[in-house]
Structure 1
Amino acid sequence: MDRRRLLLALACAAQFIVVLDVSVVNVALPSISASLGLDETVLPWVVNAYALVFAGFLLMGGRLADVIGRRRAFLAGLALFCVASLVGGTAVEPGALIAARAVQGLGAAVLAPATLTLLTTTFPEGNDRTRALAIWAAVGMAGGTAGNLTGGVLTEYLSWRATLLINVPIGVVAAPLALSLLARDRASTAARLDVPGALTATAGLITLTYGITQLRDADSLAVAAAFAGLTLLALFAAHEARHSDAALIPVRLFRLRAVSAGNAVLLLAGACLNPMWYFLSLAMQELLHYGPLATGLGFLPHTLVSILLGVNVVPRLMRHVGTRALIATGASISAAGFGWQSLLTPDSGYVLGLLGPGILIAIGGGLLNTPITTVVTSGVAAEDAGAASGLMNTTKQVGGAVGLAAMAAATATADRAPGVLAAAYGHAFLLMTGLMLATALATAMLPRAERTEAVAS
């Protein structure tokens, strides 16, 4: 195998574990809760600690490769990610697990952009690069969709700890391969790293999310945390405006209607589609009493439909239907699916209780995902393309984390009786229904959609 193929395999392996860890713990959540004694207000942080730190540092992580060099960035991200996986997989206290997930998110924020940079600097423009990027994207999609099934298999036959420890042997193999394959490159003296901006954004997101999870109790600490989070995010916005030469998110991007409105729509969609995995995983196991493996397999129709639509159907539809219409239609179909999902009871069978609504949700999500990605990156100057892409990924993670925190707080109950659980999960899915309808309405803010001829070419 030649060097370029080995580099492609290395980049894909790193991307796979980064994307896998967004969802791999979902099916393991009941086992984690029972093992470490996490209550309903703490359990979402097993997911959100990763998502929020990943989101907060993703833009800075993309710049880090320019500042310290691609080789150092890749190795640093991989080391952080794998050491944190080891600590999390052996944790005996909730705080240690959540802290490890946060450090995993930091490692992922450095590692994920480095994998893409590795490919774009290894493969020259043309067919070879296109093929490499297609493989990289497919592996990333596979990691995201395989997370629930992988988590189910590992939890069923080994332990919830295996969902984190699986990263360690991958890192042990990848690190020496990276050392031998990646050429030493020089750090840039011109590139600047906005550490204060990244720290302020991440602190604001975490503090705001914590406040939201505690607002149900209406105590002064929760209100203060939410206010502090909003204040930090406002300071981040002011910091970005003042330091435009090194901004993580150039303010000029928001002057583009497609970017500003598109990310608002994406935020609403992410607030439903990402928390769906969390609530469905718990509902399958706590309400329907599925085992971890059966839960992972239960998600297969969702993932297969999404992949089929995203790869084959939607690009063809975009030749004939405007992106705004596709996004609104997809959001409406998903809203119908979430409304149906809210009717889940302890006596529901798989076909009517999960498969039917799941297919509707997946069809809707599949219809809107590619068009909204096209919208939020359209009209962006070449020098801002990376920032626009990073903003899009950050918006997805933030929407999912804040949506999960709000829904978990709104539906929390200490009573585990089947009827009470069914009502709590039904309430969560009704909230998702409302958010998806709001997403459909918000598409009116988008620029009038055109048929996307670029997709056809």
Structure 2
Amino acid sequence: MAIDTTPSPVRPPQVTLGTRLSTRDKLVLFVLCAAQFMVALDFSVLNVALPVLGQDLGMSQSGLQWAVTAFALPSGGFLLLFGRIGDLYGRRRLFLTGLALFGTASLLATFAWDPASFLAGRALQGLAAAAIVPAGMSLLTTTFPEGPARDRALGVSGTLLSLGFTVGMVAGGVLTDVLSWRSTMGLLSVFALIVLPLAPGLLPESRTPDRPRLDFPGAVTVTGGLLSLIYALSTAADRGFGGADVIVTLVAGVLLLAAFVYVESRSRAPLVSLPMLRRRTVAWGNLGGLVTFSMMSTVVFVLTLYLQETLGLSAFETGLVFGVQGVMSAVAGVYAAKVIGRFGARRTLVGSLTGQGLFVAALLGLNAHPWSVWLAVVAVSLASMCHLGAIISYGLTVTSGVPNDEQGLATGLVTSTQQVGLTIGIPLLGVLATTSSDLLSGVHTVLALDAGIVLVAAVLVAVGLGRRKASGAVEAEALGLR
């Protein structure tokens, strides 16, 4: 294997390896995690408000899908590109630019006067999120070194990521009922205004010291491929896979991603290092992440249908069920770093996937009796605790041993996996519930497939990563030196 002769990046100050973080370390962690929480909130805060939003702005039922898709397209499509731009030209600069754009876009969405202005705000929010997430994650992994400090930092980040999605579901309904749908977008602008002034004085800059050329062909093919794939899957979730636009964009996405692999194999300065993708930690860690995100999003989707349409719960009562789920995820986040410290990221990832699959399987006991709500609360909460463990441990698995000058790329892969996972689960499995003549039967079918996929993934990840070696051997393997 050729040795990388790229000059080492300017390394930011790193925290100590002690078990306690300094006040400054905590402030840095607060800024980075608050931004991640803000983006996670944006994924779900608008869901409950969509019907009211549509009436206010005069959007059709089919147009409401674009309130979600307009955010998902750029947020997923530009992640890898922006992650690499941060590596080359400055992660803090990209992070601050993303924050400023996110705040501005949220204000535009808050005061939108017609569907076009609202969708423009949502698209700009997605573009900003594509800059904030990989830049924030790579700042976190380069500031907090491998070991207890990074384990704790990623534990907090993963907890707030999961909690942000859940809080968004509950807060969206409350804010819409008490104020209006516009307050959900206004809340996001407030978050940006709080974080942006604190970030410049706390966050270190880091980038490669020279200014290598950006791999433009790679950027075009991977961004186009991801945009096409996310559009196809998002649209299929609403209309199925039979539409001409879905088929064309799905095929285009696959062809563009295949072209991307071809381009990268011949590029002198590739956007994505193919040897990195061949690292076992990167390949199998991302598989675990893809499965945990896609299958858990499917569980939340079908449970929402079950709780409201089979058990007759209101939107607020349904929100309370997922509120319990969010609290339990937060509890899991508190102990995740300790679990990973004791058993290692690989074992935690495999164990978390196994637990998620088993607790989802327990949901097969749901029926039309009102008392089933308690089974739903307990099982989905325990599954979510395992899901949180999988989120944190897969992020650690993928980024461990990766040089600082490629951390943006590694975290870009992590967040791309997250976005694609959140996108593909519902169209692939959720449609089985919505098209079934009997909703409860359809929910059972989806949950059985969901649990089976997660358990199979746990086995594959366990075999793929192999037995844990001594720490030095693991690091050498992660760096592609073995």
Question: What range is the shorter-chain TM-score in?
Answer: 0.7 to 0.9
Note the C-alpha offset of 1:167: 1.6
Could you tell which deviates more after superposition, 387-396 or 346-355? 346-355
CA contact (8 A) 1:26 1:278 kept: no
> What is the aligned partner in structure 2 of residue 447 from structure 1?
465
Per the alignment, residue 377 of structure 2 pairs with: 355
Instruction: Deviation per CA, 1:335-374: give whole Å up to 9, x if none.
Output: 3333343554554336435213213422432443344334
How far does residue 19 in structure 1 lie from its aligned partner after superposition? Answer: 2.6
1:401, distance to aligned residue in structure 2 (A): 0.9
CA drift of 1:14 comes to 3.0
After TM superposition, list the pairs within 5 Å mapping 1:28-427 onto structure 2.
28=49, 39=61, 46-65=67-86, 69=90, 72-91=93-112, 97=118, 99-115=120-136, 140=161, 142-175=163-196, 190-194=211-215, 196-212=217-233, 213-214=235-236, 216=240, 218-247=242-271, 249-312=272-335, 315-316=338-339, 319-320=342-343, 326-341=348-363, 344=366, 347-349=369-371, 351-413=373-435, 420-427=438-445
Distance of aligned partners of 1:28 and 1:366 in 2 relative to their CA distance in 1, 3 Å threshold:
same
Alpha-carbon offset, residue 107 of structure 1: 0.2
On the 8 A contact 2:111/2:182 being kept in 1, the answer is yes
C-alpha deviation, 1:151, in angstroms:
2.4
Instruction: Report the Cα offset of residue 190 of structure 1.
Output: 0.8
List runs of 5+ in structure 1 lacking aligned partners: none
* Residues in 2 aligned to 1:396 and 1:89: alpha-carbon distance in whole angstroms: 27
**Alpha carbons of 1:151 and 1:341: their partners in 2 closer, same or farther (altered >3 Å)?**
farther
Cα offset, 1:56, TM superposition: 2.7
| Structure 1 residue 166: Cα displacement | 1.3
Q: Which sections of structure 2, spanning at least 5 residues, go unmatched? A: 1-22, 473-482
2:475 is aligned to: none
Q: Matches of 1:204 and 1:192 in 2, distance apart?
A: 21
2-side partners of 1:330 and 1:92: how far apart?
45
Deviations 1:249-289 (A, max 9, x none): 21111222222222223222221123433443454445444
DSSP 3-state at the match of 1:348: coil
SS class of match (1:166): helix
Whole-angstrom distance in 1 between the partners of 2:440 and 2:53? 21
Relative to structure 1, the CA distance from residue 317 to residue 378 in structure 2 (aligned partners, 3 Å threshold; closer, same or farther) is closer
Q: Distance in 1 between matches of 2:442 and 2:325?
A: 22
Change over 3 Å in CA distance of 1:53–1:300 after alignment to 2 = same
Answering whether residue 18 of structure 2 is matched by residue 18 of structure 1, we say: no
Q: Report if the CA contact (8 A) 1:89-1:162 is conserved.
A: yes
Quickly say closer, same or farther: Cα 1:192–1:163, change in 2 above 3 A.
farther
Does the CA contact (< 8 Å) of 1:24 and 1:150 recur in 2?
yes
TM-score, with length taken from structure 1: 0.78
Q: TM-score, normalised by structure 2?
A: 0.74
1:69/1:188 contact within 8 Å kept: no
**What's the offset of the Cα at 1:4?**
8.9
The aligned amino acid for 2:323 is L
Cα pair 1:26 1:277 within 8 Å, conserved: no
Cα offset, 1:3, TM superposition: 9.4
Q: RMSD of the TM alignment (CA)?
A: 4.3
> Any idea what SS the aligned residue of 1:245 has?
coil
Aligned partner of 1:203: which letter? G
Residue 7 of structure 1 deviates from its aligned partner by 6.7
How far apart are 1:140 and its partner, in Å?
4.8
The amino acid across from 2:224 in the alignment is A
Q: Structure 2 vs 1, CA of residues 96 and 354 (structure 1 numbering), >3 Å: closer, same or farther?
A: farther
Structure 1 position 316, deviation (Å): 3.2
Work out whether 1:432 is the aligned partner of 2:450. yes
